[in-house]
Amino acid sequence: MFAIIGLVVVFGAVLGGFLMEHGPIPVLIQPAEFVTIIGAALGTLLVANPLHIIKAMIASVLGVLKGSAFGKKRYLDALKMMFEFLNKVRRQGLIEVEADIEKPSESEIFKKYPEFLKDHHIEAFVCDTLRMAISGGVEPFDMDQMMELDMEVHHHEAIAPIAALSTVADALPGLGIVAAVLGVVITMGALGGPPEEIGKKVAAALVGTFLGILLCYGVVGPLAANMTKNADAHNEYLHVMRVLMLSFLKGNAPIIAIEMARRAIPAHVRPTFNEMETACKGAADSSSGGGGGE
């Protein structure tokens, strides 16, 4: 949502400044320039990237428009969920929670946290790690290496759509010049005509350059930058889960593992110790209440 406000400010400032100097807005509406620049930009995107990267790029852009998914509440829910789950492991053993790990969508614990189930990367990261822990015979150091490899692969995949959009952003000023040159070519063919007609054609050609530069530095480039921040936020979340699970696999109590994870959360979205303690107590009470009803 914040990105949408930014785009409105960009276009509002550019068009507002133009109107302050009594510029006519209709002169900026040049469909042929739009077709040339945007069509060529889409073409370069298709040439440079396979389909799965283009799909991921569209999903990432939509994610930017929705806003970051990793706020304080998301982290607090993650700590609460894992505290409840690890307490169950401590009481019943890893084997008893195998059903929760194999089918997380049917787990009484995980079902309470739809955001966790919606993000298949995070769900797989947590459940695959716990699945290996159940299988036994894997040292915490090796588990840590597995999680690190998983994070590296995921981050590499998350960066590919950003690189694709950045390439388009870099191409836009050049494509704007291409559209402008084509407009100049058309203008040269009309040199014998009335000055008003020549002026309109020159204006149309200059709109091509304007549009290419505006889309590059005012729209596409900032979107790619925001996508980078979202990818980093996702990676930070995975890192928190990694710290939490590794701490527990080393034999620490659930509350110690949760506190270590809390310390790994970025400061601007990190819950306070009291917030974490209250959430975990609520999860423990709810878990014991559920157990008493069985």
Q: How many domains does the chain have?
A: 1
Tokens in use for 131? Answer: 């699945």
**Phi, psi for 226 (deg, rounded to 5):** -70, -35
Specify if 293 maps to a domain: no
Contact 82, 114 (CB under 8 A): no
The arithmetic mean of pLDDT across residues 227-242, rounded, is 95
Specify if 189 maps to a domain: yes
First to last CA, the chain: 44
Specify if 6 maps to a domain: no
Specify if 110 maps to a domain: yes
Residue-number span of the structural domain to which 168 is assigned: 31-288
Specify if 5 maps to a domain: no
pLDDT in tens, 30-52: 898 999 999 999 999 999 999 99
Q: What is the pLDDT of residue 200?
A: 83
pLDDT in tens, 172-222: 999 999 999 998 888 888 777 788 788 888 888 899 999 999 999 999 999
Contact 284, 83 (CB under 8 A): yes
Specify if 271 maps to a domain: yes
**Which H or E run includes 35?**
helix 31-48
User: Which of these, 251, 258, 262, 265, lies nearest to 83 by C-alpha position?
Assistant: 258
C-alpha to C-alpha distance for 216 and 150, rounded to whole angstroms? 33
Specify if 118 maps to a domain: yes
pLDDT in tens, 81-118: 999 999 988 888 877 888 889 999 888 889 999 999 99
Specify if 22 maps to a domain: no
Long-range contacts of 3-12 (CB under 8 A, 24+ apart): 3/64, 3/65, 3/67, 3/222, 3/223, 3/226, 4/65, 6/222, 7/218, 7/219, 10/214, 10/218, 10/219, 11/218
Contact 190, 197 (CB under 8 A): yes
Q: What is the pLDDT of residue 289?
A: 53
Q: What is the pLDDT of residue 285?
A: 62
Of all residues in the chain, what percent carry a pLDDT higher than 70? 96
